[in-house]
């Protein structure tokens, strides 16, 4: 699941974890494409002990990811403008 960090599913789950959600079933509800998912495997990947400082660091990393993604889009648009 983490191999697709930019997917809406992963970002939704990360945001829930940051907000303090720890119940596996509530996190599983956010997994999209329920036809092909393997609940047991996904549930195992979501288990863990997350402290407030972990949520803070995860929040910081998500913010940084979004900034880099936005900057990459801006760079790509600038390159396209120059090349056209």
CA–centroid distance for 1 within its chain: 9
End-to-end CA distance of the chain: 37
Taking only the tens place, the pLDDT of each residue in 25-45 is: 888 888 765 555 567 777 787
pTM over 0.75: no
Number of domains in the chain: 1
User: Is the Cα dihedral 4, 61, 28, 9 positive or negative?
Assistant: negative
For residue 61, what are the domain limits? Answer: 2-83
Question: Where are the alpha helices (H) located in the chain, listed in sequence order?
Answer: 8-18, 24-28, 39-46, 52-83
Residue 17 pLDDT grade (very low, low, confident, very high; cuts 50, 70, 90): very high
């Amino acid at each position: 699941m983490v191999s697709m960090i930019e997917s809406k599913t992963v970002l939704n789950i990360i945001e829930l974890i940051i907000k303090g959600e720890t119940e596996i079933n509530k996190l599983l509800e956010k997994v999209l494409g329920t036809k092909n998912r393997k609940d047991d495997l996904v549930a195992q990947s979501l288990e863990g002990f997350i402290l407030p400082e972990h949520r803070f660091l995860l929040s910081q990393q998500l913010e940084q990811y979004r900034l880099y993604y936005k900057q990459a889009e801006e760079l790509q648009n600038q390159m396209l403008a120059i090349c056209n």
